Structure 1
Amino acid sequence: MSFASGPSRWSDVWLTTAARGISSCGDFLAASALTLSLQSAGAGGMAVSGLLLAATLPLVALAPLTGRLADRIDSRTLLAVTGLAQAGVCLALAYAGHPALVIALVALLAAGLAVTQPVLAALVPAMVRAEDLPRAGALNQTAGTLGALAGPALAGLLVGGFGARLPLLVDAGSYLALVAAGLLIRTRRGGRRRPEPTAAGGAHPTWRLRRDPLLFVMVGTLAAVVGAVGAINVIEVFFIRETLGSTTTVYGVVTGAWTLGIVLGGWLFARLSRRLADDGALLGAGLALLGGCCLAVLASAAVPSALLLVPIWLLGGVANGGDNVFNNLLLARRVPEASRGRAFAVFGAAVQGAGMAGYLVGGLLLEVAEPRPLVAACGVVGLLVVAAVAAPVRRAVRAERVATPAAALPGVVHLEVDRASGAELATPTPSR
């Protein structure tokens, strides 16, 4: 798979990192401000669920289109135009009053995110050499999670002191970072490009997720676990604010603990990933980390006060960050460069779609049950799903090791059987 042919462009990596961090902070700032505003106004679980669904549905529904846009249109154009559009939408959102208009604008804002996510994700592997990808990925993830860490905490402070409008105005300004990144980053994708050649001199066939059983199992496993525990995203604000009786500021601190753990886990497991050249080992380690996330959710149901959630969710975030590193590395290793935008869009859509199911279930369950037992149920169901998918993961890993024994030899060109059509594809294994 194609990575940077010369030295890694770390200046581009840092620009992408800064843009993602700033825009991520704005995203979580707006989401947390709107969630807290709804809860403080007396809205129930279905209202919060509806808001989260509006923020997620475009990421799923538009994935087939936005993934192709990321691969076919110049990345500079996409980032600049989308960033300006999102800034305008967020400015309108700050002054919107009717709930229906707010939901519509949130959905429109998410449509822009559906474009920028695969663009940025696919740019990073093109900026660096294969051996530098774990470090670059950890930097990029750190930016996103630090933004997610700062966003809820900042929302808790600003909403408590100034209401929801100021956080939304700050969010509108944060999208201008995407415009600056689009203009300054030298690495570009999309536009006028020729298909990536294979070792046989031809062009890669159209990439399909189902043609790679290992990636297919990885995406399915993560989506299943996210769907099982996704209701926690709706339940947590009621659990922390009402069951545990905490302030909006404490809510921001507690939710930020998980994202801080993601930062720590990203760097810890980026170092470990260098020892896992075998893709099957990455998949198995990712499943174990997903189990750690579910254990953290289950343990959180027993706490008597919100501050005790901080160390538990910190550990859960570490596991989450490690799984993110392994997933992104698998996608970058196994997907042709020309199709990475679509691959990251498909991956994001599967996970976000599973999360939508969790949002809906969480909103419904809050109408009939208290938050604490629901938090415990999320953890238990998540662990059961991890146990259920362990067998398919083992089968996929065994099949991968039988089908591609040459993958362990750096620089070797091996034949990979297309399980869907039976054709043999010549795939160069990058040196590590």
Structure 2
Amino acid sequence: MSFTPGPSRWSDVWLATAARGISSCGDFLAASALTLALQSAGAGGLAVSGLLLAATLPLVALAPLTGRLADRVDSRLLLVVAGLAQAGTCLALAYAGHPALVIGLVALLAAGLAVTQPVLAALVPAMVRADDLPRASALNQTAGTLGALAGPALAGLLVGEFGARLPLLVDAGSYLALVAAGLLIRTRRGGRRRPEPTAAHGAHPTWRLRRDPLLVVMVGALAAVVTAVGAINVVEVFFIRETLGSSTTVYGLVTGSWTLGIVLGGWLFARLARRLTDDGALLGAGLALLGGCCLAVLASAAVPAALLLVPIWLAGGVANGGDNVFNNLLLARRVPAADRGRAFAVFGAAVQGAGMGGFLIGGLLLEVAEPRPLVAGAGVAGLLAVGAVALPVRRAVRAERMGRPRVSNPEPADNDRQEAAAVPAAGAELATPVPSR
């Protein structure tokens, strides 16, 4: 991995951290506001699932392009242009009335996110020395997750008092933080600054996910579970608001509790991840944590009041955050440094694509069933998916431990292992409105 040759640029780290936190908060604020507006207007599950699909499809479809853009185009140019485009799109969204126009603008907004997400992820390591990267990564990832925590809660308050327009206007302003960061951050990546392979490491073939069986199984297992349990993302607003009869404020509090759990789980399991030097052990532990997420969803179906969801979803979020840590660590260990921006884009696209399947399933089932049994069904489906992928995971781990060689991914340096273990949460979130930055 490339690091700054001089002292760490902490001013750049703090600028990137602030930009990520503010824009992430705005992104979740808009997603939650639109979801609440649809539900309050009497829209059904298909409308909500359509909105979530529009917010996710560009992240999947554009991943092959945006991952390469993040590695090849000047990071300042990408942040400024994408930030301005997203601010303008969100401003138009605040005054859009026709549902088709709203969905189209949401998709355009997500296209900008598909660009800025890998740019920021790949930019932070270039700001600091190797020894400082764990702290810088932790700060940046935590800011994004805290923004995702604040967004739904703020949406619940603002929508209840002012309707959906004000949250969308606030979101438009939040994207200007990306523009400011792009202009003020001195560290730049991409363009003529693209690193070449060093003599020590040599050239390596272009990275491909399919060349690493352990990563293939990791992505496949996570995608299967996200597809199975992903209907909860559509069902939750109807379950909390209608079945449990809660206000928009309580809805924001409940959904935010899962995200808070991700923050706590990220820091908690980062300590454990440093001790797991075996990649197979990481994969198995991540699968167990996915099972914990599904158990939390299943348990939530039995609650009589919405506030009782808070501790259950907090526990589910802790498991989700730990799984994110292990996923990041596996990717950082097994992907060449020059290809990590594209690797994270490919990984994110696979998971988001699986989530789209869950959105569609949830929207269709809400037309024929009540929310409470659907919540229980999502939890059961997730647990069944965990059980179904356990055997392929075991086989991949056994093959890894027997010494089957990796085709294209060199063994990373110790600094890479320390950096990856310190990243608290950058993977898939199983029970939030849309993926975080």
TM normalised by structure 2 equals 0.90
Contact 2:55-2:109 within 8 A present in 1 as well? yes
Structure 2: tracts of 5 or more residues without a match: 419-437
Q: Return the alpha-carbon distance in structure 2 between the equivalents of residues 71 and 279 of structure 1.
A: 26
Contact 1:16-1:140 within 8 A present in 2 as well? yes
Partner of 1:360: 360
Partner of 1:429: 413
Partner of 2:96: 96
Contact 1:198-1:427 within 8 A present in 2 as well? no
Over 3 Å counting, the alpha-carbon distance change for 1:73 and 1:316 in structure 2 is same
Q: Return the alpha-carbon distance in structure 2 between the equivalents of residues 312 and 190 of structure 1.
A: 43
Q: Does 1:195 align with 2:196?
A: yes
Q: Return the alpha-carbon distance in structure 2 between the equivalents of residues 381 and 197 of structure 1.
A: 47
Partner of 2:257: 257
Which 10-residue stretch deviates more, 338-347 or 269-278?
269-278
Letter in 2 for 1:429: A
**Matching of residues 31-50 of structure 1 within 5 Å:** 31-50=31-50
Deviations 1:110-153 (A, max 9, x none): 00001011111222344445565554433223212211111111
Q: Return the alpha-carbon distance in structure 1 between the equivalents of residues 229 and 329 of structure 2.
A: 24
Letter in 1 for 2:196: P
**Matching of residues 167-316 of structure 1 within 5 Å:** 167-192=167-192, 193-197=194-198, 199=200, 201=202, 203-316=203-316
Q: Return the alpha-carbon distance in structure 2 between the equivalents of residues 75 and 277 of structure 1.
A: 33
Q: Return the alpha-carbon distance in structure 2 between the equivalents of residues 352 and 100 of structure 1.
A: 22
Contact 1:233-1:359 within 8 A present in 2 as well? yes
Deviations 1:70-120 (A, max 9, x none): 111011111111011100100111111111111111000000001011111
Deviations 1:14-69 (A, max 9, x none): 32221111111001100111111111111111011111111111111111111111
Over 3 Å counting, the alpha-carbon distance change for 1:354 and 1:304 in structure 2 is same
Q: Return the alpha-carbon distance in structure 2 between the equivalents of residues 198 and 335 of structure 1.
A: 18
Contact 1:254-1:309 within 8 A present in 2 as well? yes
Contact 1:226-1:354 within 8 A present in 2 as well? yes
Letter in 1 for 2:197: E
Structure 1: tracts of 5 or more residues without a match: 405-415, 419-423
Q: Return the alpha-carbon distance in structure 2 between the equivalents of residues 322 and 200 of structure 1.
A: 31
Contact 2:292-2:316 within 8 A present in 1 as well? yes
Aligned residues: 415
Contact 1:135-1:270 within 8 A present in 2 as well? no
Over 3 Å counting, the alpha-carbon distance change for 1:417 and 1:292 in structure 2 is closer
Partner of 1:385: 385
2:275 is paired with a residue whose SS is coil
Q: Return the alpha-carbon distance in structure 2 between the equivalents of residues 392 and 130 of structure 1.
A: 35
1:274 is paired with a residue whose SS is helix
Contact 2:145-2:262 within 8 A present in 1 as well? yes
2:206 is paired with a residue whose SS is coil
Aligned structure 1 segments of 4 or more residues deviating by more than 6 angstroms: none
Identity of matched residues, %: 87
Give the CA deviation at 1:276. 1.7
Letter in 1 for 2:363: G
Partner of 2:159: 159
